[in-house]
Structure formats: structure tokens, C-alpha cells
Structure 1
Amino acid sequence: MVARRPTFGQAIKRSSGYVLSSLITLPYYRFYRQNTLLPILAIMRSVRERESDDVLFQRTRYWRERKLREFQFVQVAGTLLAAAVIGCFSWVPNDGQHWLGPAAWYSCLVLSLFAILLSSSEAFIFSTIKDVPGKTSQARELAMIARVEPITPQQPQPTATDGREKGKGRQRQDVQVKIKWIMVFTWQAPIMLVAYAVICFLAGLTIYVCTPLYDGLGFRGESKASIFYLVSFVASGATFVWCSFWAYRFIDLDEQDLYTVG
């Protein structure tokens, strides 16, 4: 029995880069999937199936515009996070506060600053790409995400039938497209930094506010405030996760062909 060759999407999902990126991007996987992974896979599939230059141009431009909007979001979010952390540093330290609280806030500040710098740098790179259709421009953009190599099959001795179809065979050459996972990581790094900055900020805030619950001084008024904070935190977090799931669940229904990778 001949083993069935995996499809393009199955081969991608079985790669170590896909598994590793899925683990790294777990806190913001939907955002990463919609704005980085699926558009890149759609571009690769267009190249692999030798679609027209116009289709490839539209998909690369769509991905580039989407990434620019993402970089703008990262810059705004990183600035707000950095300002929030700096404001928290002026609060009166709680006696008995765990050292992880300040450490998380310091980490948040560093991650936010580097998210702003990296998003600005990558936004500049994307903005310098000329929006002009052409094989040279497309080749440069493809080099940013994938490695395209022509496949040269072993040709048998020519026959009369082969001679009649020689011109037709030359019109279409198969290519091998390999995704550059290091570049996928590079283009999604700004949103990764700001996502982990949010996690660090919330962790530091939780440790600070909940200090009365673990400092060993007994239950008091500050403990009630800590409990109220935890209830609000859980309710807000659950609402965010639930709404984010359903928001991304039905996104781009009119462009399913753009994201088909199976």
C-alpha cells in the first residue's frame, strides 16, 4: 500500500517550527494566527500553485497592510503599558510584598520599551516596500517569509509526443516553497513582546493588591479590597477570553479562500 503524501497544510502543521511557534504564541495565538501565520501560508500556497501575479500581489499587499496596522497597535499598547508601570512605581510599597511583584513590573517596562522599538523598526521596513506589482518586487517580499526553489524533475528520453507538448510543459514549472520560521518569529515578535508585557503587568498588579491575603497579618479591610479585585479580575478575564474567541471565530468569512491551507 502506497503511503499518502501529506498535504501542504499537514506538512506545515507537522513541522517543529509550527509546534514551537504555537507554544510561544499561546497567550495571543488567535491574533498571531490571523495577522501573521494564515496570510503567510496563503501567500506560500499561491506561489506553490503558480497562481497569477495579480493574486499574489493582492495577498502580499493585504498581509503588509495588516502588519502595519498591527505595528501601530503595538506602539500604542506598549506606550500605555510603560506609562502604567511607571505610575505604579509611585505607589507605597506594601510590607510583606513578594519580590515577584516588582520584578514583574520591571519586566513589563522592559518588554514594553522593546516592543515599541521593534514595532517601529519593522513598520519602517514594511513602509519602504514599494507597492508596485512585478516579479522583482514579489521576489523580495517572498524572501522575507519563505524560500522558493524550482523543482527540476528527471526527464526521460524525448519522444514524438513529448516533442509536441514541449512548449506547453515549459510554461509551468513546479516550485518547492519552504517557510522561514525564523522570519515568522521575527514579524510576530512585536505583538509577542507586548502580550507578555501585559501578562507581567497583571501579575505584578495582582501580587501587589493581594499582599494582605498572604502577608500573615490577618484578615482586615485591605483583604476585602483584594478579594474584590480578584473577583473583578476573574470576571473581566473570562469575558475577554469568551468574547475574543467568538470575535475571531467568525472573522473573514468572505475570504475563506485566502486562509485555506489544507
Structure 2
Amino acid sequence: MSAKFMTRASHSLHQGPLAIGRIFMLIVTIPYYNIFWYNNLNSVSRILAAESDSIKLIDAANGWMDKKSSELKFVQVASAIIAAAVIASFSWPNIGTDYWLCPALWYSSLVLAGFALLVSSQQVAIIESFGKISIDSSEQDLLRVINSIVRLKRVGSGYELSWNSVYIWQSSMMSLSYSWCAYMAGLTLHVCSPLIMGKRSGPEFRTAIMFIVVAGFTCINFSWCSYWVYAKSTKRDD
């Protein structure tokens, strides 16, 4: 893809009030920004950049549906796994003696996972109802897809970014990510309960220290890899 092609689309994401929506989404999507950029912003940018070129528009619409369908199916599986992990965690010993925030986070994780599963199932059904768009498809079929992703410009012709649509279509991944974060935060509190309770010796204390070291390294490694994957994947030639 040429730099000029993506530059036009990228420029449309930074104009006027759209910058506010971008800042909000940037903050909300921090835990999964690479996925958000690749499956949402990048795909929407292709649609906006296609403008009146029907071939590019059809290709961009199909690309968006393929990526989004794969993402939603992943969310369905992952949210079910997280829900199962949360339910299993409540059967662990000494749960009743944990700091109150631990079970609160796990209950929150369960709710978020359930929401992610329901929303992703609905959206998969919607995408499947669109069907594959081809050059022989009617204009109405194409517009059904396009209008669910972007919106008509208020002034002039063509399309513009709709942050509301972007938010809605990524909401299941957002719920999944925050469900995972809530579960891990609860797990951290569970393992580190001896430290919270003031214990400074014994096997539980050593387990908590080991957990903190491994979790800290994992978080740093995840952040490092995520940053560089994103930086390399979005790099464009001048």
C-alpha cells in the first residue's frame, strides 16, 4: 500500500473534533491497542481512503469484515476461557481470607467476560448477515456494510470517521481485555495477600515475592514487544 494512500486516511483521523474521539479511544484501548489499530483504525482508514473507487471500497469492506469476524470469534473463545478461570478460582482455598478487592475484581471480570461473549456473538451474526461483497453485489448491499462502519459527511459528499461506530465494533474486545486485567489484578491480590496482611516470612511470603518478580518481568516484556510490533507495523516510507 502506498504512503499516499494511507496518509489521506490517517489525516482524516486527526481533524477537528475527531481528535477528541481519538484521544478517548487511545486511552480506553491501551491494553490492546495493537489489535485495535490493526482490526479497526487501519481497516476503517482503508475504507475512507477508497472514497469513490468502488473496487477499493469493496476490497476494504471485505477486509474489515474478515478481520472483525476473526477478532469476534477469538473474543468468544477467550471470554469463555476467562469466565471458566474465574469460576474455578473461587474454589481455591483461603479465598474467604483474601482482601475484599480480590473477589470484587473477579466478579467484575466474570461480568465483563459475559458481556464480551454476548456482544461478540451478536456482532458475528450481523457480519455473517452481510455476506461477502463482490463487484456483482448491489449498491444497497455495499452500503449496508459501509454505513455500519463509517458515516456520511455532514457537509459535502463522501464518508467520514464515526468514533461511535468504532467504539461499538471494538466493545467486545474492550470488555475481554478489561476482564483479563481484572482477573489478573484479583489474582495478584490473592497471591500477595500475605504481604497485605503484614506477613514477612514463610512459604506464602516467598510465593508472593516470586509471583511479583515473574509478573513484573512479564508485564515489561509484553509492553516492550507490543510497542515495537506496533511501531514496526505502522512505519511508512517517506
TM tier relative to shorter chain: 0.7 to 0.9
Contact 1:96/1:215 (CA < 8 Å) preserved in 2? Answer: no
Distance (Å, rounded) in 2 between the aligned partners of 1:120 and 1:184: 17
After TM superposition, list the pairs within 5 Å mapping 1:5-84 onto structure 2: 9-14=10-15, 15=18, 16-47=20-51, 50-51=52-53, 53-84=54-85
**Alpha-carbon contact 2:130-2:144 (below 8 Å) kept:** no
Q: What displacement does 1:236 show?
A: 1.8
Paired residue type of 2:43: P
Once the two structures are superposed, residues 172-230 of structure 1 have per-residue CA deviations (whole angstroms, 9 ceiling, x without a partner) of xxx24222211111100010000000100000000000011120244222100100111
- Aligned partner of 1:200: which letter? A
Deviation at 1:149, TM superposition (A): 4.4
3-state SS of the aligned residue for 1:128? helix
1:148 to 137, 141, 152: 152
Q: What is the distance in 2 between the residues matched to 1:252 and 1:131?
A: 27
Select which of 134, 137, 141 maps to 2:141: 137
Q: Which amino acid aligns with 1:231?
A: V
SS in 1 for 2:164: helix
**What is the deviation of 1:9?**
3.2
CA distance in 2, matches of 1:122, 1:54: 25
Structure 1 residues without counterparts, runs of 5 or longer: 1-6, 153-174, 258-262
- The CA RMSD over aligned residues, in Å, is 2.5
Q: Compare CA radii of gyration and give the structure with the larger one.
A: 1
Say if 1:122 and 1:231 are closer, same or farther in 2 by CA, change over 3 A.
Answer: same
2:101: which partner in 1?
100
Structure 2 distance, partners of 1:83, 1:132, is 37
Match of 1:166? none
CA contact (8 A) 2:72 2:121 kept: yes
1:150–1:135 distance in 2 versus 1, CA, 3 Å: farther
- Separation in structure 2 between the aligned mates of residue 41 and residue 131 of structure 1, nearest angstrom: 20
When you count helix as a share of all residues, which structure comes out higher?
Answer: 2
Q: Which amino acid aligns with 1:201?
A: Y
Aligned residue identity for 2:208? S
Range that drifts further, 217-226 or 33-42: 217-226
Using structure 1 for the length normalisation, give the TM-score. Answer: 0.79
CA contact (8 A) 2:79 2:114 kept: yes
Question: Partner residue of 1:234?
Answer: 216
Q: Secondary structure of the equivalent of 1:219?
A: coil
Aligned to 1:208: 190
Moved more, 142-151 or 75-84: 142-151
Does structure 2 retain, via aligned residues, the 8 Å contact 1:107–1:197?
yes
Aligned-residue identity in percent: 31
Counterpart in 2 of 1:160? none
> One-letter code of the match for 1:80?
I
Are 1:223 and 2:197 counterparts?
no
- Partner in structure 1 of residue 129 of structure 2: 128
